[in-house]
Structure formats: structure tokens, C-alpha cells
């Protein structure tokens, strides 16, 4: 009985860990789905992924400002890049993916 309880707890912990891992948004997939059209081409003045010069003044404002602009929209960029179904965490993951090579 004690062994069954341990196995049950171990299984429950493994499921909880698996759910936590799956719950993290995939920034690359979100970028490909919702951000790439503008951030790969520079459409409407969007900074291109990996363009250090274009991102430098934005990074100087801090990550919270970048997240805020990405979530709520800024200038030509609509809120959440127009993908309003995205959660704030998904948008942040896409921003993090775009900035990975620069940080």
C-alpha cells in the first residue's frame, strides 16, 4: 500500500511537471504565426528580427516598455500584432524570441 502511494505521488508529480512544461508558450511558433510578416520584412517600420541597430533604441526603453507596446500596440503596430487571441504571455514569448540573438 505504501509503495502504491509513492507510485501515485510520483505519477502525479510527473503529470504536473509535464503540464508546466507544455504551458510555456513557444515564442518561435508565435513569431512565425503572428509577427514574421512585419518583423521579417520591416513592413510599416517594424524592426527586423536580428537587426541590432533597429532594436537598440527600443531596448534602451527596457523590456517592460517593449512588452507593453507589443501587447497594447504602438504607432503602426496593432495590439498583439493583430493576433488578439494571443495571451500576454504568448506575446512576451514572441518578443523574447525576436530579441534572443541581441541579448
Grouping H, G, I as helix, E, B as strand and the rest as coil, residue 62 is coil
Beta bridge partners of 77: 74
pTM of structure: 0.77
CA 102 to chain centre: 15
User: Are 45 and 75 within 8 A, CB to CB?
Assistant: yes
Domains and CATH numbers, the chain: 25-102 (1.10.760.10)
Digits of tens for pLDDT over the chain (103 positions)? Answer: 566 445 454 555 554 544 555 689 999 999 999 999 999 999 999 999 999 999 999 999 999 999 999 999 999 999 999 999 999 999 999 999 999 988 8
How far is residue 58's CA from residue 65's CA, in Å, rounded to a whole number? 8
Amino acid at each position: 500500500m505504501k509503495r502504491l502511494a509513492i507510485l501515485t505521488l510520483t505519477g502525479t508529480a510527473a503529470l504536473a511537471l509535464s503540464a508546466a512544461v507544455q504551458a510555456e508558450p513557444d515564442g518561435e511558433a508565435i513569431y512565425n504565426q503572428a509577427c514574421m510578416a512585419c518583423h521579417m520584412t520591416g513592413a510599416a517600420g517594424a524592426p527586423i528580427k536580428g537587426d541590432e541597430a533597429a532594436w537598440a533604441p527600443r531596448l534602451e526603453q527596457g523590456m517592460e516598455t517593449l512588452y507593453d507596446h507589443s501587447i497594447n500596440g504602438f504607432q503602426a503596430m496593432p495590439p498583439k500584432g493583430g493576433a488578439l487571441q494571443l495571451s500576454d504571455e504568448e506575446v512576451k514569448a514572441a518578443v523574447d524570441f525576436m530579441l534572443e540573438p541581441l541579448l
